[in-house]
Amino acid sequence: MSIKTREQKAAMRIRIDYNNMMEKFLGDKGFSDAQLKAMRPEAEKAYAFVKENRGRDDLFMGWTELPYNQKEIVADILATARDVRKNFDNFVVLGIGGSALGPLMVFNALCHLHYNELPKKVRKGPKFYVEDNVDPVRMHDLLDVIDPTKTCFNVISKSGATSETMTQYLIISEILKNAGVDIAKNVIFTTDGARGNLIKIDKALGGTVKKYVLPDGVGGRFSELSPVGLLPAAVLGLDIRAMLSGAAYMDNMCRSKDMAKNPALTCAVLQTLAMQNGKNIGVMMPYSDNLKLMADWYCQLWAESLGKNVTNDGKPCNVGQTPVKSLGVTDQHSQVQLYTEGPYDKVVTFISVDSYQEKMEIPQGFGCDDIPDVSFLTGHTMEELIQAENKATAYALMQAGRQNYTIYLPEVNEFTLGQLMFLFELQTAYAGAMLNIDTFNQPGVEAGKKATFALLGKKGYEAKKAELDSAPALEEKYTV
Ligand code: PA5
């Protein structure tokens, strides 16, 4: 369905219900109106920070403009995607972190859940894989199911220096070379505009590789609406313009300093206040298999952005909220016991869907007519069941004094997914501003990267290697 008119967009608007965060429903375990009111100055400051710095590359805030400034890039991506869909059997993303979680999330959200197993004439596009690890078994097994010569590899790395992605590239380019294939024919790079090793590799290949630019002011985890996510989505035949339009729609809904009129600011205030009140764990629980990987994507965004040890004024701090991914209803039978009766250290965000793509009636079945425990299900739909379980879990948590709120998606489509991504990105930027930290760096990730370089003998990391070697010797008594 096309979502173009004002009415169509309004019908697809995401809503947020945070009643279960409030004292009216939770007693002294909830927030009072006065507590929310007291957050106003902080919220307004955070809003002003984001507003004033929109689009600034030096602050890594270029992502705010992605819904608006990619007209030509989108046209180019759609043309490339058409070629890829016509000429290749497989499309493989090589990347990690912000370069992989977005493409995975969109694939999971908007494609058939068994897409790769569908016949080609139903799929209409290539099989799709995102390789975001360096587990040798995984690489070996991928090579068992794809023919690299008939595969388009999208190498996504801003720096081109990420060991995982570059290891994958080394393996794949060697295979292509040995098969006598022109590497540039089977490879697309998504990378920094001017710097970075993929640029150098392209030069070595005579400047023949198709390249997409990850703009300067867009960090990995904020890059899904850039070519990082748009090309894979277009190759899957998805409507990337609708995704960007959904993001712009959410952006528009968030143009007020008044949190009551700004959904992202509302969520940021709720989470920040929750953190201030000892809720150090944020559970993201979609009730939709299509949104299972949205929780993964959100976890990186929230964890890497807010987990920091120094404020913007240089003062030591240890802030952040541990995001936990959970899936409704599956994890009702795994984690919800803990959420309901364990420590009061969590806030649960549900993502609910008003209308699923399929309803699936529950039939009479066989042999169950006289078993009331089972027969009550007959005549309902699976959609009704999952929605009832969602509501029931939110209610049970509320009854137990556990804070939770729900983000409602009218349905899962490109437009609502674009809204949801932008909601989370803005929420993260506001929350980081309220915590007074640099939301957009990731020194903790860099530290691990550097230690890996040292362990594998990279030139220039001798001092780091010496530091690692000088760690105390392992004590036998601490091994069992
Ligand atoms: O969000 C981030 O910045 C990181 O997760 C990066 O995306 C990740 O480390 C990969 O980096 P690069 O794109 O340079 O390969």
What are 60-71's pLDDT values in tens digits? 999 999 999 999
CB of 80 shorter than 6 A to ligand 1: no
Q: What is the DSSP string of 209-237?
A: SEEEE--TT--GGG-TTSHHHHHHHHHTT
Predicted structure pTM score: 0.96
Closest residue to atom 8 of ligand 1, CA basis:
97
* Residue 112 appears among annotated catalytic residues: no
pLDDT at residue 445 in the model:
85
pLDDT at 472 over 80: yes
What percentage of the chain exceeds 70 in pLDDT? Answer: 100
- Asked if residue 98 has its Cβ within 6 Å of ligand 1, the reply is yes
d(CA 53, CA 58): 10
Q: Atom 2 (ligand 1): residue with closest C-alpha?
A: 220
Cβ 191 under 6 angstroms from ligand 1:
no
Please report the pLDDT score of residue 392 as a whole number. Answer: 97
pLDDT tens for each residue of 321-332: 999 999 999 999
Residue to mutate (ligand 1; options 158, 191, 228, 299; most atoms within 8 A of CB) = 158
Q: Are 188 and 152 in contact (CB under 8 A)?
A: yes
- Residue with the bigger pLDDT between 451 and 38: it is 38
Is the CB of 102 within 6 Å of ligand 1?
A: no
Question: pLDDT at residue 142 above 80?
Answer: yes
**Beta bridge partners of residue 90, listed in sequence order:** 127, 151
pLDDT tier, 404 (very low <50, low <70, confident <90, very high otherwise)? very high
- Residue 75 has a pLDDT of 98
Which atom of ligand 1 lies at the shortest distance from residue 191's CA? 13
Q: Determine the residue of 63, 96, 131 to mutate for testing ligand 1's pocket, defined as the one with the most ligand atoms within 8 A of the Cβ atom.
A: 96
Output the DSSP codes for 280-330.
-EEEEEESSGGGHHHHHHHHHHHHHHH-EEE-TTS-EEEE--EEEE--TTG
Domains and CATH numbers, the chain: 6-58+242-435 (3.40.50.10490), 63-241 (3.40.50.10490), 449-478 (no CATH)
The whole-chain average pLDDT of the chain stands at 96
For residue 272, the tally of other CB atoms under 10 A from its CB is 24
Cis peptide leading into residue 106 (ω within 30°): no
- Pairing mode of beta strands 281-286, 322-325: parallel
- Active site residue: 86, 121, 315, 333, which one? 333
Calculate how far, in angstroms, residue 401's C-alpha sits from the geometric centre of ligand 1: 38
Quickly state the pLDDT bin for 416 (edges 50, 70, 90): very high
In this prediction, residues 375-396 reach a mean pLDDT of 97
Q: What is the mean pLDDT of residues 256-285?
A: 97
Q: What band does 1 get if pLDDT is binned at 50, 70 and 90?
A: low
**pLDDT tier, 318 (very low <50, low <70, confident <90, very high otherwise):** very high
User: Is the C-beta atom of 442 inside 6 A of ligand 1?
Assistant: yes
| 162 CB within 6 A, ligand 1 | yes
pLDDT of residue 97: 95
Q: pLDDT digit string (tens) for 419-447?
A: 999 999 999 999 999 999 999 999 888 88
Residue 394 Cα to ligand 1 middle (Å): 35
Is residue 147's pLDDT more than 90? Answer: yes
Query: Catalytic site residue 333?
Result: yes
Mean pLDDT score, 346-361: 97
120 is catalytic: no
- End-to-end CA distance of the chain: give it in Å, rounded: 60
Assign 38 a pLDDT band (cuts: 50, 70, 90): very high
**Do the beta carbons of residue 102 and residue 422 sit within 8 Å?**
no
Please list, residue by residue across 230-251, b when 16 or more beta carbons sit within 10 angstroms of its beta carbon and e when fewer do: bbbbbbbebbbbbbbbbbbbbb
Residue nearest to atom 3 of ligand 1 (CA): 220
| Choice among 204-208, 379-383, 389-393 with the minimum mean pLDDT | 204-208
